Every structure is written in structure tokens, then in C-alpha cells.
Amino acid sequence: MTTSRPPLTCDEVRDILAVQALEGHLAERDERVEAHCRECEGCKAARSDYEDITGLLAFGLPDAPASPAARERLRARIAASRAKRPRRLPWAAAVAAACALSLALGVVIGAVFWRGGDDDPRLEPAPSARVVLERASDDSNGNAWAEVLVNSQSRVATLLAYDLPALPPGSVYQFWFVLPGGERVSAGVLTPDEQGRAQQVATLPTDWPEISGMCITREPAPGSQEPQGPYVLVAWW
């Protein structure tokens, strides 16, 4: 019981406070320290200073800018968090199941154009299109789905994929743009996390109106020049 332990001296309390400030959320809390600080202005001030110093330490590190793509990903995540996941249309799922390996499987639920985000003129231009990629077949891809947020002005597409099934060793997911002639242009290999989520930022190979589809395929590692593996998620229009 803490009540049976002797009270701490200021010196002991400050040892603990210095460590607690540095440890952050890993720090053990001690009710005797809290009780002491409620009564001792000096230790209360020391705690405040230690916490301020902790907040300053990162200023001692060398500069390390994040990649430009990271900003775009953040923007896409925020946009995605504002947009509710669209409901899968029953007929779309049926069509997708019936036409498993056909490129006609693509069901564009998205391509929903919006501008400016709400009606706040101070907002930067929002993505100009959102495309939802649906499963190419219902047999082995679980609940996988993806959305692509396209900024037509900057020609940047941000893919956010969810619930991708884990792949056997030697296989990777690859993201593709489809051009009107049917040519596929790789937009990179995906690296899903443990929850099957993956993000990819890619530059459109041509102007946005020229893109006629997007898809994710399963390819032999480390990826392919042209799609060889089965289609996992598709969107065609």
C-alpha cells in the first residue's frame, strides 16, 4: 500500500520527475509523487520545466524532411477519412463474380467528381476524382477493396487499399493504370501491412481523362513489366 510507504523527499521526487518526463507514456506513475507535487511548488515547477525540456530535445536533431509523397498521402488519408466508404452495389458484385477474369469486371462506383471540399474557399483543391476498385473475383480476395484519389491538376493518384489477403512468398501486389489502347502502365508494387492495408502514390502516365482504368494484380516478385498474374481489384470505365 502506498499509504504505508514513507513520503518522498524533493530530491527523490525530482529524480523520478526527470525520468518520467523523458519516458513519456512509458513512465510508471507513483501516487506519492503526485501527492508531493500537489503540495510542493518547487517540484511542480521542476516537472513543468522537465516536460518543456523534453519537448525541446527533438530540436537538437538534424533536419530530416519527409518525402513529398508523404504529404500527398496525408492529404489523401484526410480526404478518405471524410468520405464514407461507398456501399457495394449488389448488381456490381454479381457482375464482378460472373466475369471474373474479364476486364469488364471493373465496376466504377467512384469517378465521383468533387471540387474544393465543402464550400470553404480557403481549402486547397481537393482530389478531382475518387475511384473505387472492386474485387475481380469473389473467391480468393476476401474483403479486399481500394480507392484511388486522383488530383488531376498535379496528376498524382493516391491508392489506399484495404484488407488485401496475405500473399505467399514470392508474390507481390502490383498497381496499374490502364490506357485507352489497353496498355497497362505499372504504378508500383504494394507493400501491405499486417492488416492488409497498403498505400501507393503514383504519377499519372498521362492526363487524367486519358486513363481508362486501374487495377491491382498479383505478380511474381519483384513485380512485372506487364501484368501476368490474376486481377485482384479492378475499376474500368
**Rounded least distance, CB 140 to another protein, Å:** 28
Nearer Cβ to another protein (58/166): 58
CA torsion 164-168-169-175 (nearest 10°) is -40
Nearer Cβ to another protein (137/162): 162
**Rounded least distance, CB 6 to another protein, Å:** 17
**Distance separating the N- and C-terminal Cα atoms of the chain:** 69
DSSP H/E element including 172: strand 171-178
**Rounded least distance, CB 5 to another protein, Å:** 17
Binding interface with another protein (CB under 8 A): 10, 14-16, 18-19, 21-27, 41-42, 45-46, 49-67, 70-71, 73-75, 77-79, 81-82, 117-118, 120, 122-124, 126
Nearer Cβ to another protein (74/221): 74
**Rounded least distance, CB 77 to another protein, Å:** 6
Q: Tell me if the bond preceding 222 is cis, omega within 30° of 0.
A: yes
b vs e for 44-63, b when ≥16 Cβ sit within 10 Å of the residue's Cβ? eebbeebeeeeeeeeeeeee
**Rounded least distance, CB 70 to another protein, Å:** 5
Nearer Cβ to another protein (19/104): 19
**10 Å Cβ neighbour count for 37?**
18
With 0-12 / 13-18 / 19 or more C-beta atoms within 10 angstroms meaning exposed / middle / buried, residue 167 is: middle
**Rounded least distance, CB 194 to another protein, Å:** 10
Residues in the chain: 237
Nearer Cβ to another protein (51/163): 51
Nearer Cβ to another protein (18/100): 18
For residue 163, give the nearest of 185, 140, 184, 129 by alpha carbon.
140
